[in-house]
């Protein structure tokens, strides 16, 4: 393994920094028209009239679509959708089918024009009247009318309801607190965009910014009543996803506009639409109660999470981490969900764990303080050696090592137990830490590998690189498995014409796709070697596989590298210009690592296929450490340094892995200190409309982030030993920062973001 793990530069880095990587909105077509959606200006009610005359007369306008003239699409039908692989659909609302308004900003019309500017200008001329109804926008007042969800990702949502009450009430050592987190919106650098091109009456190509071309194809085919084989989705580069680029049905709006205008149509989501139409992380109100014995061993954990949803089954699952962290004889996790007239919530980097670990890890800090135990020692004391909920052993778990390494690298021993002990001028300095965790998923995936006689190797799979490094690490895996340099490898991804791969979501691309690529490359290598063995002109004629090693594009005899045969010579003597192999890898039932199945299969991709989950609990773990400086006069908080230690299995590329964790920590820093979507209660619209008022961290907000990996392979996740790494980086970050603020100031803030008004 010469290259895997090495911090090599991104193979697509040059394309990106020179602006030559092509993103969805850049696939301009001849004769292309531009579509701009019109959004509702009420949060609930019905549309009574549309006056489209002025818009239609406006310069360059080709069509104005509303529910009155738009074609009828397939309706929402969860059972049928499931069968068709329609998963990770953003909201259960097919656009322009009726006059109902469910949230402020809902797409209610579409203007198509010769240019983007013309479409946008005409969109402003559309006159809409409504029959406005009273909308629900306030979480606290709507919660009593809400519901208790039965299922969460196919499992029981409510655990041990009501069981902890007496135990916690009777315990002399306990804390019981409420923590709140704000609604947040995803803001990848690249907003969603689609270019829809009809290649015939029933054949569609979509250039789309998506985390998964396979699911986007399934969704487009389903709602437009097309055969999936007749829909091609192309998405070679994606400028960030974070959960918002599942699939939202503006893709069918673009396709509908294409049908009406008989032209290719581009639809780009604006930054303001990112706040209303493509998901969010809902606000949460989390009540946590912990009780402990006199020695600091937890006796019960209760976590009740309240949140809101609309137009989807999804709700922010904040109790997920609570189910897996810490040993405690009794654990109660419950949910209450209200329905608000706000756009659909969706997956956002570590959905559940991100806000959930704020509450749980703040509560752990409070309990440790109550027990006069160092917060890190308190966590070690309550460490769960096996999964406390399922009782299964972890596939691998080096959390204790994360704590130890983190404490050492950060200098945790210098922390004072009592707050307000460390000061530099007007700044109070504090240390805080928290545990990170995220489950490790794996799905089936297929890959094809080709090698030419010139030694050019192509790796093909319909996976996505949403900025994560997929191109690079796949090239590393293939290079090592063939014993060639990484420059020889070209990776083709993001196209439904390639062998299917799962969505880049749930931190599962590496664990899912690499076993398939590895199996395909190994098949190719074996085919090539067998050609040499059976070739009387080969120096390796008659040899056996276990006598052979490979490097630098050659097979050679172990112990005598002079007895060798190069891939090029073997292919040349056998008149082969190109050789190819395919494989599918599946985390199949009871098969340990999951079996590679050759050749490439067009398998329906399920998200939770890993039946090894019945034998092992697959999770990543980490420890987050923050130092903050708090200005005592102004209440401003600056994170001055941050240490993150992660146990995520084998590291495929130290540089892209480190970037993932840094990105996660910055995401968490944003949630901790500034990110907050605020709604006007009267109109139901987000008043934080753009990045001018929805604040995300900029370089000046971000300190030195020190990242360390345990790096030990997970022997059960796959043949690769790597677990996903995209989401764990954010978990625990906001709690580590809030805990550091308490250590600095003595003030416990239980509400995110930690803005100065809450501190003063
Ligand atoms: Mo991630 S929130 O599963 O894209």
Tens digits of per-residue pLDDT, 382-434?
Answer: 999 999 999 999 999 999 999 999 999 999 999 999 999 999 999 999 999 99
408-412, Cβ contacts within 8 angstroms, sequence gap of 24 or more = 409/625, 409/643, 409/645, 409/706, 409/708, 410/625, 410/627, 410/641, 410/643, 410/706, 412/376, 412/625
Closest CA to 502 of 329, 726, 269, 204: 726
CA distance 494 to 245: 13
Write down the pLDDT at residue 444.
86
Residues marked active site are found at: 727
- Domains of the chain by start residue, with CATH: 17-134+189-240+245-275 (3.90.1170.50), 142-184+280-440+618-759 (3.30.365.10), 442-614 (3.30.365.10)
Beta bridge partners of 492: 460
> Between the CA atoms of 276, 277, 279 and 280, what dihedral angle is there, to the nearest 10 degrees?
-10
At which residue do the structure tokens 């995110």 appear?
A: 752
Phi, psi values for residue 263, rounded to 5°: -140, 160
User: Which ligand 1 atom lies nearest to the CA of residue 211?
Assistant: 4
CA distance 302 to 330: 8
Q: With beta carbons less than 8 A apart as the criterion, state whether 572 and 453 touch.
A: yes
263-292 core/surface letters (b: 16 or more CB in 10 A; e: else) = bbbbbbbbeebbbbbbbbbbbbbbbbbbbb
Tokens representing 186 are: 């995803």
Query: Strand locations in 318-365, DSSP E?
Result: 330-339
Cα of 736 from ligand 1 centre, angstroms: 22
Q: What is the largest CA-CA distance in the chain?
A: 85
User: Which SS3 state, helix, strand or coil, does residue 527 take?
Assistant: helix
Phi, psi values for residue 59, rounded to 5°: -55, 130
In the predicted model, residues of the chain with pLDDT beneath 70 are 1, 588-613
CA distance 336 to 149: 7
CA distance 360 to 290: 9
Q: What's 493's DSSP letter?
A: -
Write down the pLDDT at residue 608.
45
Cα of 467 from ligand 1 centre, angstroms: 13
Q: What's 228's DSSP letter?
A: G
Write down the pLDDT at residue 596.
58
At which residue do the structure tokens 């069981």 appear?
A: 163
| Residue 45, Ramachandran bin (φ over 0: left; ψ between -120 and 50: alpha; else beta) | left
User: Which ligand 1 atom lies nearest to the CA of residue 243?
Assistant: 4
| CA distances from residue 503 to 213, 473, 548, 719 in whole angstroms, order as listed | 7, 17, 37, 20
Q: With beta carbons less than 8 A apart as the criterion, state whether 253 and 123 touch.
A: no
Cα of 353 from ligand 1 centre, angstroms: 11
Closest CA to 305 of 294, 295, 290, 315: 315
| Residue 372, Ramachandran bin (φ over 0: left; ψ between -120 and 50: alpha; else beta) | left
Pocket of ligand 1 (CB under 6 A): 211, 241-243, 347-349, 351, 505-506, 727
- Ligand 1: residue of 239, 347, 502 to mutate (most ligand atoms within 8 A of CB) is 347
Closest CA to 463 of 481, 448, 483, 482: 448
Q: With beta carbons less than 8 A apart as the criterion, state whether 406 and 708 touch.
A: yes
Cα of 714 from ligand 1 centre, angstroms: 22
User: Which ligand 1 atom lies nearest to the CA of residue 726?
Assistant: 1
Residues 6+ apart with CB under 8 A from 433: 375, 376, 406, 410, 412, 623, 624, 625, 626, 736, 739
Tokens representing 629 are: 């400086």
- Ligand 1: residue of 280, 726, 728, 731 to mutate (most ligand atoms within 8 A of CB) is 726
Phi, psi values for residue 198, rounded to 5°: -85, 120
Write down the pLDDT at residue 585.
86
- Give the helix, strand, coil percentages of the chain, each rounded to 5: 30, 30, 45
Q: With beta carbons less than 8 A apart as the criterion, state whether 142 and 266 touch.
A: no
CA distance 477 to 718: 14
Q: Whose CA is nearest to atom 4 of ligand 1?
A: 243
Burial of 703 (0-12, 13-18, 19+ CB in 10 A): middle
Cα of 68 from ligand 1 centre, angstroms: 36
| CA distances from residue 127 to 40, 56, 60, 514, 625 in whole angstroms, order as listed | 11, 11, 18, 53, 54
Beta bridge partners of 627: 431, 641
Question: How close are the terminal C-alpha atoms of the chain, in Å?
Answer: 55
Which is it for strands 265-268 and 33-39: parallel, antiparallel or unpaired?
parallel
User: Which ligand 1 atom lies nearest to the CA of residue 348?
Assistant: 2
Write down the pLDDT at residue 605.
46
At which residue do the structure tokens 């020190």 appear?
A: 706
Q: What's 26's DSSP letter?
A: G
Residues 6+ apart with CB under 8 A from 584: 444, 445, 446, 499, 516, 519, 596, 597, 598, 599, 600, 601, 603
Q: With beta carbons less than 8 A apart as the criterion, state whether 552 and 561 touch.
A: no
Instruction: Tell whether omega for the bond before 738 is within 30 degrees of 0, i.e. cis.
Output: no
Which is it for strands 330-339 and 298-309: parallel, antiparallel or unpaired?
parallel
Cα of 245 from ligand 1 centre, angstroms: 9
User: Which ligand 1 atom lies nearest to the CA of residue 349?
Assistant: 2
CA-based radius of gyration for the chain: 27
| CA distances from residue 441 to 137, 450, 512, 633, 723 in whole angstroms, order as listed | 35, 28, 8, 46, 8
Burial of 130 (0-12, 13-18, 19+ CB in 10 A): middle
Write down the pLDDT at residue 154.
84
CA distance 159 to 150: 10
At which residue do the structure tokens 């989501």 appear?
A: 269
């Amino acid at each position: 393994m010469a290259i895997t793990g090495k911090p090599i530069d991104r193979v697509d880095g040059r394309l990106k920094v020179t602006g030559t990587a092509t993103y969805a909105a850049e696939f301009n077509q001849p004769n292309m028209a531009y579509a701009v959606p019109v959004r509702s200006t009420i949060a609930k009610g019905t549309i009574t009239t549309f006056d489209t005359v002025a818009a239609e007369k406006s310069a360059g306008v080709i069509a104005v679509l509303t529910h009155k003239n738009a074609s009828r699409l397939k309706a929402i039908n969860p059972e049928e959708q499931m069968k068709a692989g329609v998963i990770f659909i953003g909201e259960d609302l097919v656009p322009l089918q009726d006059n109902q308004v469910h949230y402020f900003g809902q797409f209610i019309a579409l203007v198509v024009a010769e240019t983007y500017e013309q479409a946008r200008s005409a969109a402003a001329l559309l006159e809409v009247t409504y029959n406005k109804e009273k909308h629900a926008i306030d979480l606290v007042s709507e919660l009593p009318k809400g519901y208790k969800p039965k299922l969460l990702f196919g499992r029981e949502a409510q655990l041990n309801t009501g069981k902890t009450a007496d135990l916690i009430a009777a315990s002399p050592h306990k804390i019981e607190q409420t923590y709140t987190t704000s609604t947040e919106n995803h803001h990848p650098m690249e907003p969603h965009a689609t270019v829809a091109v009809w290649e015939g009456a029933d054949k569609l190509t979509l250039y789309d910014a998506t985390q998964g071309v396979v699911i986007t194809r399934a969704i487009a085919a389903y709602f437009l009543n097309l055969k999936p084989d007749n829909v091609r989705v192309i998405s070679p580069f994606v400028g960030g996803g974070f959960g918002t680029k599942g699939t939202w049905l503006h893709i069918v709006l673009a396709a509908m506009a294409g049908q009406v205008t008989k032209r290719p149509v581009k639809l780009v989501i604006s930054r303001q639409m990112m706040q209303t139409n493509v998901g969010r992380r809902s606000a949460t109100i989390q009540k946590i109660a912990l009780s402990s014995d006199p020695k600091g061993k937890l006796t019960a954990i209760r976590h009740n999470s309240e949140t809101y949803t609309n137009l989807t089954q999804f709700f922010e699952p904040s109790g997920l981490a609570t189910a897996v962290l810490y040993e405690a004889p009794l654990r109660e996790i419950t949910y209450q969900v209200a329905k608000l007239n706000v756009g659909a919530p969706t997956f956002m980097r570590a959905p559940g764990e991100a806000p959930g670990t704020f509450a749980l890890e703040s509560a752990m800090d409070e309990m440790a303080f109550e027990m006069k135990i160092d917060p890190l020692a308190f966590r070690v004391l309550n460490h769960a050696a096996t999964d406390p909920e399922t009782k299964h052993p972890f596939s691998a778990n080096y959390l204790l090592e994360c704590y130890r390494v983190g404490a050492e690298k950060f200098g945790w021993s210098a922390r004072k137990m009592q707050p307000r002990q460390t000061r530099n001028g007007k700044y109070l300095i504090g240390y805080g830490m928290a545990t990170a965790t995220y489950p490790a998923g794996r799905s089936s995936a297929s890959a094809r590998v080709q090698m030419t006689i010139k030694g050019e190797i192509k790796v093909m799979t319909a996976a996505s690189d949403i900025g994560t490094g997929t191109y690079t690490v796949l090239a590393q895996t293939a290079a090592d498995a063939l014993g060639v340099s990484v420059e020889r490898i070209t990776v083709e991804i993001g196209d439904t014409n390639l062998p299917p791969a799962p969505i880049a979501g749930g931190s599962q691309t590496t664990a899912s796709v690499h076993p398939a690529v590895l199996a395909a490359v190994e098949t190719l290598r074996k085919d090539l070697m067998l050609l040499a063995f059976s070739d009387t002109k080969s120096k390796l004629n008659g040899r056996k596989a276990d006598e052979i090693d490979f490097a630098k594009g050659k097979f050679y005899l172990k112990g005598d590298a002079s007895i060798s045969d190069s891939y090029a010579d073997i292919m040349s003597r056998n008149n082969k210009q190109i050789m190819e192999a395919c494989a599918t890898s599946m985390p199949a039932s009871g098969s340990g690592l999951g079996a590679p199945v050759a050749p490439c299969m067009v398998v329906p991709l399920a998200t939770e296929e890993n039946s090894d989950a019945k034998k092992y609990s697959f999770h990543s773990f980490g420890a987050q450490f923050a130092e903050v400086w708090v200005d005592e006069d102004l209440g401003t908080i600056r994170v001055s340094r941050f240490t993150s230690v992660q146990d995520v299995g084998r590291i495929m590329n130290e540089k892209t892995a480190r970037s993932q964790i840094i990105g996660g920590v910055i995401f968490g820093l944003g949630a901790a200190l500034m990110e907050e979507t605020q709604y006007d209660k009267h109109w139901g619209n987000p008043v934080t409309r753009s990045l001018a008022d929805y604040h995300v961290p900029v370089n000046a907000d971000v300190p030195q982030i020190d990242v360390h990996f345990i790096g030990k392979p997970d022997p059960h996740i796959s043949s690769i030993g790597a677990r996903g790494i995209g989401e764990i980086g954010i978990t625990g970050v906001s709690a580590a920062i809030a805990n550091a603020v308490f250590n600095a100031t003595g003030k416990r803030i239980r509400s995110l973001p930690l803005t100065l008004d809450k501190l003063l």
